[in-house]
Structure 1
Amino acid sequence: MKIKAIFFDIDDTLYDSTLQTDMARRNTIRAMIEAGLEIEEDEGIKALNEIVEKFGSNYGYHLNELLREFGYEENPRIIAAGIVAYHSTKIAYLVPFPDTIPTLLKLRDLGYGLGVITDGIAVKQWEKLIRLGLQHFFDSVIISEEIGIEKPNPEMFKIAARKIKCKPEEAIMVGDRIDKDIVGANKVGMLTVQLMHGKHMDEIPKNPDEEPDYIISNLRDILKVLKEIKKRN
């Protein structure tokens, strides 16, 4: 069947969110140490990672928890230093992979519909797309908060296909996560492409639902995948 649309995850698919997060947390700890927090950098990063894991990434008081972890009373100066460093670094590292824009341009020229399927808070995900300069490439952007379900719920992928006026089997899903992107898209009959990048790249499929149809190491290789699909058809 002819492929009409290609859907993408955002984090670690269109840009390097793993590097962004690692650098933001490291610079946060460095700034807090400079402002008076007397700890070793590596132990601070370890503690911050554990706090984010415990409370979730959208919790608003990670740095307050960090101070308590090391026996400090709340210190607005130290917390503010960390907040400024964190947000400055997040913005600085919010840049597309070098091949993201050229690949999207080529796909548009070839006539494919393009979409995004992503979990997260809608404003935050749109902010990423806008700061990345990618918002105008996509015919459809499906965000979990706006529809009340998350990947790998198959309905999320069906909604995305309907929005772009194609059948699921006429679409490809490109993402880095087996448990979110690959499983959900496989269940509705989309072709699946796993981009091997970021903190989830070492995860191994445990059953047929988790097996991607194709594996690529960079985004531009989706063009090779499309050529291979055409040959098979």
Structure 2
Amino acid sequence: MKIVVIGGTGLIGTKVVGNLRGKGHEVVPASPNTGVNTITGEGLAEALVGAQVLIDLANAPSFADADVMNFFKTAGANLAKAAKVAGIRHYIALSVVGSDRLPDSGYLRAKVAQEELIKESGIPHTIIRSTQFFEFVDGIAHAGTQDGTVHLSPAHLQPIAADDVAALVARVAVMAPANGIIELAGPELIGLDDLVRRYLTVKRDARKVVTDVHARYFGTELNDKSLTPGDNPHLGPTTYQEWLNRQAANA
């Protein structure tokens, strides 16, 4: 089976490509540095020739509200058009758990817009909404830092390892389209403040984490339901402590 992975050279994309190639599939990692640009459309039609499955894992280069909305709307429209012409039989996209519950976040509004373009395309599809990746904890700490102190909400998350995300994406790629949304999360609930506090401890980072229920997470306030999945999500097996232990071992 030929599978095209948009964003195939990124964090999740490289893992998905390796996973699917290991199972004998013809996989094309597509990104601007491989000559495929979803914003301009350059190389897109050529990459999709003969493909049965399209996986969109690309992310916006800027998280500014207008930029991220333009990215996902433009790329989404170009992908849907090219996928229809190519006769794609399964269009898969990675989105975010809770994206439709947090309209104050420009990034999540853009992810909802991307999802709607896929649904409206008429192409058989599966939208995988994932919780936050362990690998993004450093960025969360940076975003919450004010004058050397990290201000974060205690709201619960159910974060997940990138390896576990990639494993499910690869599984879905060879399954029948769900024609809807499936959710993916890690195995445990963790407060956002504690998530970062434990990471900084492992990294021997002296920044103090201050718990603040009104602290904004990329533009929006959180509660325990904001970024946690609904009933019966797919669960990745890797615990946060297991992942932290690997970070410590590789330090």
Q: Same fold (TM over 0.5)?
A: no
Structure with greater strand percent: 2
TM-score between the two structures when normalised by the length of structure 2? 0.30
Structure with greater helix percent: 1
The one of the two structures with greater contact order (alpha-carbon pairs below 8 A, sep at least 6) is 1
